[in-house]
Amino acid sequence: MYHINKDIGASVSIDSSNIAHNQEPLRNLLKKIAQEQNYKNPEIIINDLTSGGANYTSTLYTVIIKEKNKEDLHLFAKVGALGDSFREQEVSVDLFDIERFAYLKLFKIYAALEEEHGVPEEHRLPYVKMYGYDDTMYKETMVLENLIPQGYGPCDRFKSIDWEYASAAMTECAKMHALSFAFKKKDPEEYEKVLDLAKPTYNYKLLDIMLSNSIPLALKTVKPEHKVSFAKFINRGVKETFMEYYEARRVTAIIHGDYRGNNLLHRVHKSFSFSSPIDIDS
């Protein structure tokens, strides 16, 4: 499997000082975006947004760019919040790099394939628009289209999903995989280059730490009658089992890598409609 999200595989320390000051680079980027979108004298409104614990590597904001006699521009922004203690560990940190690649290149490849083969608009892969980014260290920022004001939203991650939601989500996931196969057939050399970029990398030392911290917590939640068998399973090689999930079997494909409810936006018409299954989460 090859991911379009960035798997770090370690505990994360949040830089609280960065959180306190990260609106300045965000505001500078928003001014640039406003200018690019022909807002001459804009009012820029930035509001904090919480994910309820679903996102911990960045701080989130909703943004409205307003100007008299112009339509409001609704945006969603995320700013990196990784502290020095994490950045100094033996792991490469390039926040939002895979996301930038997806928005700047991969989705354009997919759109060209859909156009070439005459895929009807309603069956094409939907994703949000990226308006801008800053890849400066400690100022890593991405600004995307915000679909919430249009009636879209994520599902509640604390509630079970029903068949209607699951089938709609899997339909969009299948589109992404199908386009990956088409890309491979169309341009196998370029496809291999993308695999090298998107293939997840792990620091095995940090992975050992993560698993050793997680196992005791998992054992606490297992029913007493299952603890012994669960412990035997864990001790049988949990790291190897974990890594097997990231190995391709018969074919390779470019996948989302974090395809879950809070990374999917939907709204309900007569049937479920997904406008953005692709929040390429870092």
> 196-234: per-residue pLDDT in tens?
877 766 666 667 777 777 888 888 888 999 988 888 887
> Which secondary structure element, helix H or strand E, spans residue 103, and what is its range?
none
Are 281 and 55 in contact by the 8 Å Cβ rule? The answer is yes
Residue 46 has pLDDT above 70, yes or no: yes
| pLDDT of 131 above 50 | yes
Nearest to 81 by CA among 145, 155, 24, 138: 138
- What whole-number distance in Å separates Cα of residue 74 and Cα of residue 253? 33
Q: If you ran DSSP here, which 8-state letter would residue 137 be given? A: T
Which helix (H) or strand (E) segment holds residue 100: the answer is helix 97-101
User: Which of 134-143, 182-191, 259-268 is most confident?
Assistant: 182-191
Residues 27, 25: Cα–Cα separation, whole Å: 5
Cα 159 to Cα 41, 162, 261, 262, 275, distances in angstroms: 43, 10, 10, 12, 21
Confidence of residue 114 (pLDDT cuts 50, 70, 90): very high
pLDDT recorded at residue 15: 42
User: How many alpha carbons fall within 13 Å on the CB side of residue 5?
Assistant: 18
Residues paired with 274 in a beta bridge: 266
Give the start-to-end residue ranges of the domains of the chain: 2-200+246-276
